Amino acid sequence: MFSLLHNRQISESDILTMHRIFYKDINPKAAGRYRTRPVIITGFEYPVCKVEQIQNEIGRMLQWVASDRDKYHPVEFAAQLHKRFVFIHPFIDGNGRISRLLMNTALIQDGYMLAIIPPILRQEYISLLEQAHKNDRPFMDFIAERVFESEKEIMRLLHIPFPKFHKSKNKGS
């Protein structure tokens, strides 16, 4: 995991390893393996990727990572990566956790703080993720806010004063 944080690449092997590490004690046979049966996510309007399309969609996502990463602000890229992965939903379980792990990996790779989503914001997070099928800007803004709030919290814990931003008064003629 630490070697992954020191470069700006994410591979299929990395994704499968993350899932294997996370899921091995829950279901060893499914750990690190793509799902082989369809799933329906309760409460969501949009279907996830069909089983037979998972491998191709993961490949497309990883090609996008390799070719388009620098076209985005790092926080927007991380939010997009999260969204794209969770919409594919390649595993039988643990997709949300792995998508957040991928997002935070991308953030750290680019020198940003983690986007910590506290339980109190879970419903808003899920709602914005569902809305991202049509408009992903509110979801990306939510993730940016979470990065900012995480940074403020770390600074608070380390007793680092957070700069106050002042609106400058326009001293016209």
pLDDT in tens, 127-160: 999 999 999 999 999 999 999 999 888 888 888 8
The angle formed by the CA atoms of residues 133, 137 and 140, to the nearest 5 degrees, is 100
Separation of alpha carbons 61 and 55, rounded Å: 10
166, pLDDT greater than 90: no
d(CA 107, CA 172) in angstroms, rounded, equals 41
Q: Name the residue with tokens 């953030």.
A: 107
Give pLDDT, residue 173.
Answer: 45
Query: Catalytic site residue 166?
Result: no
Query: For position 167, what pLDDT does the model report?
Result: 56
d(CA 112, CA 161): 18
What pLDDT shows up at residue 84? Answer: 97
Q: Could you tell me the CA-to-CA distances from 173 to 129, 170 in Å, in that order?
A: 48, 9
Q: From the candidates 89, 133, 159, 166, which is the catalytic residue? A: 89
The pLDDT of 105-120, averaged and rounded, is 93
- Residues 35 and 58: their CA atoms lie apart, in Å, by 13
pLDDT > 90: percent of the chain: 75
**How sure is the predictor about 102, in pLDDT bands with cuts at 50, 70 and 90?**
very high
Q: Reply yes or no on whether the pLDDT at 9 is more than 70.
A: yes
Measure the CA–CA gap between 89 and 103, rounded to whole angstroms.
Answer: 15
Encode burial over 66-92: b for 16+ CB neighbours within 10 A, e otherwise.
eeebeeeebbbbbbbbbbbbbbbbbbb
Calpha distance 94→146 (Å, rounded)? 21
